[in-house]
Structures are given as structure tokens and as C-alpha cells.
Amino acid sequence: MPEPILTAEQANQLLTKVFGPNQKFQMMETRHGWVAQAILSQEELDQGMGLGLGNYVLNKQTGVVTAHRSLPPDMIGEEFDQAIETGQPIQGGQVYPPLRRIHLLKTFEDPQTVQYQVHVTDLDQPSNPETTELITINKETLYFHPSGGPLSEATAWAEMLSRTTGIWPMEETIER
């Protein structure tokens, strides 16, 4: 489990670990966390990437990082603090530490489809057995079956790599 994040320097170190050294953030401290929003380059702003830009919150006590919607950081901070203080669920999806490991292994490919064997391991509940499913992705429509949470992530990751490299990956492991 991550360590407490009590200083701005610790928060910056964790953000660098999670998002890499090239992504910089503006941060705001709250009672129970650090709200971080990516600092975009002028080129990214010109491309409209600032529209809908979300926030991340680093929990000071647990070091858990959650992704939050596009609201002003002070509103996200107030919402986060209130959830902590009232014992309500955090209104964001956990980014770090990752909750599961997804391993893709390509088993078949033709001009229309690609098929992967997908192994999913719960990292937050290591006693749960690993699951394995076979997914088939239509390369043109990106429709895949069967569908579901980790399979959606696996499909999105494989498709992103195929756009980036020009080929569907043979084997990949991601943690989410």
C-alpha cells in the first residue's frame, strides 16, 4: 500500500511515479488530500485538450490517487474532503495503486479481426483467482465480444497500440 503523502514534494514525487516525468501538475492542498490538474502545453491547449480536463486527488493518509471529473479543483477538493469526513465513497476512480493486471496474448489475426487471450489478476485482492477470457475485436468497428470492464480496457489498450505502431500487439501487460 502506498505511503502517506503529507508534503507538496511527496505529492510531486508520486505524480511523477504514476504519470512520468514529462507531465507537470498544478496542485492545491486540501484537508485530506492534494488536488492535481495537468499543466498543458500551448500546443495541447490549441488542440482543445484543456476542454473537460479532469483532476486527480492524492489521499494524504493512504497515498491512493483517484481520477475525478472536470470541475474547478477547489470544488473537487471540497467534495473529496467531505467524503472522507462523512465516510462516503470517493467520487473518483482509483488510478494508483493499480487494482488489476491485464495480460493480453494475441491468438489469432486476420484482415478483419484480432483475437486475444486476456488474463486478469486482481492486485487489490490477491486471493482471488486469475480469470482468463478470449476476446475477438473487429478492427474496423472496434466492437468486441464478450464485453466487460477489464476486457474494455484490454481492447482500448490494444487498439491504441495498433494506432501508434501500425500493428496489433502480440503480447502486452498493463496495470490499471
**Residues 35, 48 share a domain:** yes
Domain boundary among 41, 64, 96: 96
Domain boundary among 81, 96, 111: 96
- Note whether residue 50 is domain-resident: yes
| pLDDT at site 147 | 83
**Residues 112, 67 share a domain:** no
Distance between CA 76 and CA 57 in Å, rounded? 8
Task: For residue 25, give the nearest of 35, 33, 17 by alpha carbon.
Answer: 35
Query: ∠ CA(59), CA(62), CA(154), 5° rounding?
Result: 80
pTM tops 0.75, yes or no: no
What's the domain count of the chain? Answer: 2
Q: What would the pLDDT profile of 71-109 be if each residue is shown by its tens digit?
A: 999 999 999 999 999 999 998 888 898 888 999 999 999
**Percent share of the chain, pLDDT over 90:** 63
Task: For residue 54, give the nearest of 39, 67, 35 by alpha carbon.
Answer: 67
Q: What would the pLDDT profile of 140-162 be if each residue is shown by its tens digit?
A: 999 999 887 788 889 988 998 99
**Residues 116, 79 share a domain:** no
Q: What would the pLDDT profile of 12-64 be if each residue is shown by its tens digit?
A: 999 999 989 988 999 999 999 999 999 988 888 888 877 788 899 999 999 99
Whole domain around residue 113: which residue ranges? 100-175
**Residues 89, 111 share a domain:** no
174: β partners: 102
- Strand, helix or coil for residue 96: strand
